[in-house]
Amino acid sequence: MKGVATTMNYHIIFANTFGDAAIIHRENPFSLLKVLLPCADRASLLQSAEREEWGKAASHPNVTVTAIAESLADYFRGRPLRIPWEWMDMRSLTELQQSVLRAVADIPYGSVSAYKDVAAAIGCPRASRFVGTTVAKNPFPILIPCHRVVRSDGSIGQFGGGTEMKRRLIELEAENAPA
């Protein structure tokens, strides 16, 4: 049926220098639902999201999801990426959560910022814990670079992919950031 929206989810798994990662998306209208961080093996990756979220293995016919996967793979090789805001489905997030993620997205490639600095940037200087909770639930890691948010004392803090991956991502960006 032409013109009828479908709610079927699809996914694409792609290899990169950090392991296998995935993008979960919707076809009609096209939107990104979730980015899954790289895992060392596919079995671990497949366990990192609820089975019903995955949907069928397929890329979008207009190759947008393939281009985003390629951009993410390039990121893991040390190249900055453009955030595809126009495709990211953020309807499950409150306006305040979205403002946190937009502030995190403003942290320059190769830089880090403290949770309290992100809280101040959204006009809620006492909301460091809220910032931490929001970035922990970021549905679009790497695209929205939550790994750039660290503790006030400069220590790495938590990360969905583990502290070692967070450290590697920060180092990758530091090595490849423009001077």
Q: What is the Cα 109 distance to its own chain's centre?
A: 14
- Active-site positions? 146
Q: In what order do the strands lie in the sheet with 56-57?
A: 31-39, 19-26, 9-16, 56-57
DSSP string, 120-166: HHTT-TT-HHHHHHHHHT-SSBTTB-GGGEE-TTS-----TT-HHHH
